[in-house]
Structure 1
């Protein structure tokens, strides 16, 4: 394994780059800075493995492995053939090549560029090119500079590897973790989700409190690279959860969702700290113990339900929280500002809006309720 340092890129939902940067810095990547679409920092392969294994908010970890100037296809072909592919790629592992070009470059035909790079890989390294390869080489040609990056994650990092059951419009675990962080959650208080669906917020909060690594149950693309050291990676994994006395609660009026959430919590290893019950929002009761965070992703009406019929539901949620949850903070995610207003909750002026599943959704937050 080479010891040299290189640029590592963490993808982030637009509008939440600052949250991914904050998590990266807290994890020890002190020089992490925001860039459009994500966060970058300098690191080595151990940092790549740790970023995939430990970071909850990023969806993908890319490594920039090199670049060169190319003004025409013949030059691209020649320099791609001389690139030190064997430092990073294994000849026995298929590769997928994805090329993006811009109009400022003399090489602007993406398909032709892709063919040249694929041919270089096949003839110089002996690589098989495949659309469903475990390793993806991302190529960007901008201002006549050809930059090579490797996707070290493989499947998106929101796929933790232990959730088998999902609801109709699930929130990605990565986004749930960022929203929890934006509501001030640090793993030291209870979290309640009264419309829990498949349990994403509750399970994510319980995992954070237990210090569980989000990537502990899954495989990564970097395990197929020439730079992978199985023993060194195994040493980064924690074998046990931290002891904690917190309990987390999810409820839903859909009995199927409650069952799904309980099974997901069991697979995630947090069943002892998470309870899921079947009841309506108006039946939600404050648990014993100090105040914590109510985190909820209600139906928006855009894909689930009729929006006009949701106003009473949001109103009931707000009334229940104001009546019974004094001292608790609230975070609500919705695509409709009018639905959030229907709760009657005293939201702070600051909003965070991000794209999600073809919609633009907004996180509305309160300070501790009166």
Structure 2
């Protein structure tokens, strides 16, 4: 397997690229640089594997595998057939091709895609049509080859992750309007959370914020319980990958307590089951309670992190103002010394809490909405 440096792209929600770059730097990745929609770094295939395993904020890990110049379709066809696909793919592998063209003499993305698919077919790959971004990860899920033709330069990259990385491999119950684990991890980071404080969520749903916080505190690798698309590439070395996994820092025990509550008893049961599957039940507790009955876990103050309902997402907006007011009142009364992070699409709902909240950064695309993280310093 070649150890030549590869360009590695770590996908992040627009507006949160710097947070992911900071995480990548802390985890020892080389010179992470923010670009629109993510972070670039460089390294061998070992670093590709490690990025999928340990980065909690990356949505996908895409790898640049090479390219060439092409000024017309015949040239694209010829050079695609000469490309060393055998270094990346096994014959018979299912592959989906996505292509974009910008400022190039080859301007028709569909025609370019057909030429590259023909080259892959000639190599022996099985071409698969368009799929669902969130398709389940199965043995039949195709590898995704992305082709970018810009200024007549053809660049190939391969998605090394497969199923999106927010799928940690342990969560079965998902509540209403869930937040992806990768976004939750970045939101926690934006609040200054580094695994050294307890976290409480009074509207926990399936427990995403609480479970991510507990996993960070224990040092649990994000992808330890799942498989990845890179395991099907020709560049994959199973023994080397096993050694990499064995050399990752072992999770540590923590005395911190992580907790959540929700008025939906089914959500509480589902979140509890999620904690057990993730191996976090020893330090995580979920209970059935209304917002007004929220109480902090035993121990020092920490971070209240909550993704409450908002108007474009769930329910009657007038009722939501009352709910946010009750949330603010409870936090002021019961959570003195705790910092607060609230995610919402509507600044008016954040103001309705009566807490000293300030917007952190710009609105972030999420589920067809634009959401903002609001934070407050320790409550007096």
Q: Distance in 1 between matches of 2:112 and 2:213?
A: 45
Q: Distance in 1 between matches of 2:329 and 2:362?
A: 24
Aligned twin of 2:185: 177
The offset of 1:349, in angstroms, is 5.2
> Is contact 2:200-2:259 (8 Å) kept?
yes
Aligned twin of 2:275: 265
Aligned twin of 2:202: 194
Secondary structure at the counterpart of residue 236 of structure 1: helix
> Structure 1 residue aligned with 2:321, among 311, 321, 324?
311
- Sort the Cα spacing of 1:24 and 1:128 in 2 relative to 1 into closer, same or farther, 3 A: same
Q: Distance in 1 between matches of 2:314 and 2:358?
A: 27
Matches within 5 A, 1:1-370: 1-102=1-102, 104-123=103-122, 125-131=123-129, 133-237=141-245, 238=248, 240-348=250-358, 350-370=360-380
Query: Stretches of 4+ moved more than 4 A in 1?
Result: none
TM-score norm. by structure 1 comes to 0.97
Residue correspondences, number: 368
Q: Distance in 1 between matches of 2:43 and 2:222?
A: 20
The CA deviation string for residues 334-368 of structure 1, in whole angstroms up to 9 with x for no partner, is 00000000001111354442100000000000111
The CA deviation string for residues 251-291 of structure 1, in whole angstroms up to 9 with x for no partner, is 00011110110011111110111100001111112333211
TM-score norm. by structure 2 comes to 0.95
The offset of 1:120, in angstroms, is 0.8
The offset of 1:239, in angstroms, is 8.7
The CA deviation string for residues 1-46 of structure 1, in whole angstroms up to 9 with x for no partner, is 1111111000110000000100000010130000111100111000
Supply the RMSD in Å over aligned alpha carbons. Answer: 1.2
The offset of 1:240, in angstroms, is 4.9
> Is contact 1:134-1:224 (8 Å) kept?
no
Q: Distance in 1 between matches of 2:375 and 2:176?
A: 24
The offset of 1:298, in angstroms, is 0.2
| Structure 2 unmatched runs, 5+ | 132-140
| Structure 1 unmatched runs, 5+ | none
> Is contact 2:214-2:280 (8 Å) kept?
yes
